[in-house]
Structure 1
């Protein structure tokens, strides 16, 4: 069945159980709630990530990003929105289930012949930092501009807090802009513009594939907006990365898109309702997560927790230590040439949407 677009309504938004891991006053809420974040910022993250050979192999082994791009995009966006905005109970559960989901993505990376594992801490750190860096970069380039030094320091501290919900070690998260740059420089020799990576990046940079079924002329308007977002996303990527991925764009276009997108996002930010409509176009599943924050719907309990407090309260292990038996079985199956199980996929649907 074709998914139809429906306008989100405030009365359909339910209050969250609590403020989650950050809450009002956090730099995370300030940056991630701006319309640059879950559009250009998030698209940049999922495009850039594909340059890691292990990650692109894990992502493309089911071919779902090509067969069902909107579904895969929406599930990933929903998870990151949960981390930033979701209540602690739901987000802690989603983080635990995601370890099960990722346990399926194991095997051998074809270029190097080395094993890959979507739960590998290094792979998870790459995903995590690429996302948080891209979100901030888009905010700076097309939004209000740079954070104050104090706010930026808090942003990277909060990034480390969010890392506790993945299998990577929060201690490995840089706490400064310079540290983040050094991390990406260390990663650069490991990145490969393989045919697999280029295909995935070109596909994910076409945001029209993320749109729902829309009637003309709304479809035309949405496609024009998508084209501007795609151009803006590419303009955030360094030249060496674009060359590696085979994604050319002139310096003139790079320069011209900046004032256009600043004005566009600034206009959208004048109306929280309009921000919600834009989000609903890309991922309706994310609206119940981010909507209460965007429209300032107060939660049932005005409290925040740390990930450690949430795990203790709800009874979850650290992601790096969660479900060891399942992960071992999945690796054994993969190494034996058997199909890994889909355990966790259906369990994840109430939190991340249809698998």
Structure 2
């Protein structure tokens, strides 16, 4: 039984997305470009599906049950956090990070297959969430959006990924720093991953959300799912029980690229964010699009931001 008595939930801070600075990466970064592209919606569905290969995360999701009682809200809050880490100012990012870790601290319990205790803040589980998120969003950007980043941009993107991991409980030395290290990480993780009955249920619920959760979520999940699945290796698809015909793999990417190319208009991008993810994500994306120059137009490190805006700084102010 989980120790959590309420559904873990992340709520965006009651301030606009970029007031004090440019956050950790800045306007010219590949991170801003990749995480605010329409393809990020596909990458996000891919990532939250892959999370269920971690038995501890599957147990946490199943015990808390938020994706079943409020799938739209859970997806919206999760994507909003990733977006804040990528493009918000450092104050909002630090506040969001501390709030989320506080919420995750309540999500503990026993993983039923191994009998081991799990914690949503466990560094290994947090690293799996982080790497699958950053890798999935880039993978879908490359496959359905503008294409691969330049070598310099890709090097910077993975350096940014390491920086963003500082907002979670990840061990810095464990975070992959290149595409090759990401491949090595997945190879190292593969023997540790599994797909139980509860994992299958979670994956299929996120890929093909039932109609009783609302028409938009039902229809949106089914439109995006084939695109997300098409980016995955065969072993993941077979292990997760959501493989699809090769004909769909061949036909879907071209159609998705055409659709994504048509979403250059900001209003259309916001509509995708609102209907495909949720209102919090759409609000943050809109603020990102409209944000002017912040009070201090520089980037900072997470440690610098924590000194300025962390809980310890707020309590002594």
TM-score if structure 2 supplies the norm length?
A: 0.88
The partner residue of 2:25 within 22, 36, 40 is 22
* Aligned counterparts of 2:16 and 2:92: Cα–Cα separation in 1: 14
The partner residue of 1:254 within 249, 252, 256 is 249
User: Deviation at 1:108?
Assistant: 1.3
* Structure 2 gap segments, 5+ residues each: 1-14, 313-317
User: Deviation at 1:202?
Assistant: 0.0
Q: Which residue of 2 aligns with 1:33?
A: 36
Count of matched residue positions in the alignment of Structure 1 and Structure 2: 297
* Aligned counterparts of 2:156 and 2:200: Cα–Cα separation in 1: 35
Q: Which residue of 2 aligns with 1:97?
A: 99
* Aligned counterparts of 1:102 and 1:30: Cα–Cα separation in 2: 29
Are 1:293 and 2:288 counterparts?
yes
Q: Which residue of 2 aligns with 1:52?
A: 54
* Aligned counterparts of 2:167 and 2:212: Cα–Cα separation in 1: 26
* CA distance 1:208–1:32, shift in 2 (3 Å): farther
The partner residue of 1:206 within 200, 205, 208 is 208
* CA distance 1:223–1:54, shift in 2 (3 Å): closer
* Aligned counterparts of 1:210 and 1:302: Cα–Cα separation in 2: 46
Contact kept in structure 1, 2:17 and 2:288, CA below 8 Å: no
Q: Which residue of 1 aligns with 2:198?
A: 196
* Aligned counterparts of 2:196 and 2:121: Cα–Cα separation in 1: 22
* Aligned counterparts of 1:314 and 1:141: Cα–Cα separation in 2: 38
The range that moved more, 297-306 or 85-94, is 297-306
The partner residue of 1:165 within 150, 163, 167 is 167
TM-score if structure 1 supplies the norm length?
A: 0.79
SS state at 2:109 partner: strand
- Give the RMSD, CA atoms, in angstroms: 2.2
CA displacement, residues 101-134 of structure 1 (integer Å, 9 cap, x when unaligned): 1111112111011111111111110100000000
User: Deviation at 1:34?
Assistant: 1.0
Contact kept in structure 1, 2:95 and 2:310, CA below 8 Å: no
SS state at 1:119 partner: coil
Contact kept in structure 1, 2:18 and 2:288, CA below 8 Å: no
* CA distance 1:236–1:45, shift in 2 (3 Å): same
* CA distance 1:114–1:315, shift in 2 (3 Å): same
SS state at 2:168 partner: coil
Describe how 1:1-355 pairs up with structure 2 within 5 A: 16-17=18-19, 18-37=21-40, 39-206=41-208, 226-268=221-263, 270-281=264-275, 282-295=277-290, 297-316=292-311
User: Deviation at 1:304?
Assistant: 1.9
SS state at 1:61 partner: helix
SS state at 2:64 partner: coil
Contact kept in structure 2, 1:65 and 1:72, CA below 8 Å: yes
* Aligned counterparts of 1:312 and 1:14: Cα–Cα separation in 2: 21
User: Deviation at 1:30?
Assistant: 1.2
The range that moved more, 19-28 or 124-133, is 19-28
CA displacement, residues 223-274 of structure 1 (integer Å, 9 cap, x when unaligned): 6554321110111121111111111201110110011001101110x21221
* CA distance 1:231–1:295, shift in 2 (3 Å): farther
* Aligned counterparts of 1:111 and 1:76: Cα–Cα separation in 2: 26
